Structure 1
Amino acid sequence: MTTKGINHLGLTVRDLEQTTAFFTDLLGWTLLGRDDSYPRTTVSDGHCRFTLWQVDQSRPMTDFNRRTNIGLHHVALEVATKEDLFEMADKVRAWPGIVMEFEPEPLAGGPRMHMMFAEPGGNRVEIIWPAGQ
């Protein structure tokens, strides 16, 4: 018996509405579900599915630090072309609440390229163009 891949990825976010809008409005993902009693939303690009959970705002929040926290380092999403990567960078850069870590640049000497940023909910996201690999 073995696993068959990721069913979904669950991310706790600072602001559920902001992060859901980031995925649906900027990235073009589909909103699959919403449960306001939990609260959470589920979004998908047709290949992968994320469940976004609202952090408990009645308690102190701690931002993720990739160097000191155990857990998710980042999530990497793939685009089909180099042009898509640069188009995505323009959209991401203009989106409210985004913290750019670095703009599109060669990955491990190229030709692959990637960029890294924190989405409005605080999670690190990498967009990668695999250059046909």
Structure 2
Amino acid sequence: MTTKGINHLGLNVRDLDQTTAFFTELLGWKLQARDDAYPRTTVSDGTARFTLWQADRTRPMTEFDRKTNIGLHHVALEVESEEELLDLAARIRTWPGTTIEFEPELLGGGPRKHMMFTEPGGIRLEIIWPAGA
């Protein structure tokens, strides 16, 4: 084997402070690093680690389109219980700048459930409860 997993995922975002707050305040991730000169932050849930990069605000930004952009389609995060999924959905629903694509629903034929949304910085996220799958 030549690799052993993802070290981190680097994501460009519309607003570094909004996205960092979304991960640390709403999802409970830890801020591991911040470099305002670059500018970037690194956040982690203890398993996954994301480096968030501020998109260049002096240039026109292109919004993500999952059907036409090459590269990232979405990032899927897992929760341990259906209750956690439903609780997060309620909190995401009221978080400023988020756009919910669909509320928690059966994934495939179930019993797994998931939801899809875009966080304030423009990253498309999925939250999945695998139902012991």
Aligned residue in 2 for 1:115: 115
Q: Secondary structure at the match of 1:105?
A: strand
2:30 is equivalent to residue 30 of structure 1: yes
Aligned residue in 1 for 2:74: 74
Q: Which amino acid aligns with 1:28?
A: G
Q: Which amino acid aligns with 1:17?
A: D
Aligned residue in 2 for 1:126: 126
CA distance in 1, matches of 2:125, 2:58: 26
How is 1:6-85 mapped onto 2 (pairs within 5 angstroms)? 6-85=6-85
Q: Secondary structure at the match of 2:103?
A: strand
CA distance in 2, matches of 1:109, 1:15: 37
CA distance in 2, matches of 1:52, 1:107: 28
- Per the TM alignment, residue 125 of structure 1 is displaced from its structure 2 partner at its CA by 0.2
- Per the TM alignment, residue 49 of structure 1 is displaced from its structure 2 partner at its CA by 0.2
CA distance in 2, matches of 1:109, 1:14: 35
CA distance in 1, matches of 2:89, 2:30: 20
- Per the TM alignment, residue 2 of structure 1 is displaced from its structure 2 partner at its CA by 1.8
- Superposed CA deviations along residues 63-118 of structure 1, whole A, max 9, x for unmatched, are 01000000100000000000100000000001000000000000001000000000
Q: Secondary structure at the match of 1:83?
A: helix
Q: Secondary structure at the match of 2:97?
A: coil
Aligned length: 133
The TM-score normalised by the length of structure 1 is 0.99
CA distance in 1, matches of 2:109, 2:69: 28
- Per the TM alignment, residue 127 of structure 1 is displaced from its structure 2 partner at its CA by 0.1
CA distance in 2, matches of 1:17, 1:69: 24
Runs of 4+ in 1 over 3 A off after TM superposition: none
What do you get for the CA RMSD once the two structures are aligned?
0.5
The TM-score normalised by the length of structure 2 is 0.99
Query: Which runs of 5 or more residues in structure 1 are unaligned?
Result: none
CA distance in 2, matches of 1:68, 1:24: 30
Q: Secondary structure at the match of 2:51?
A: strand
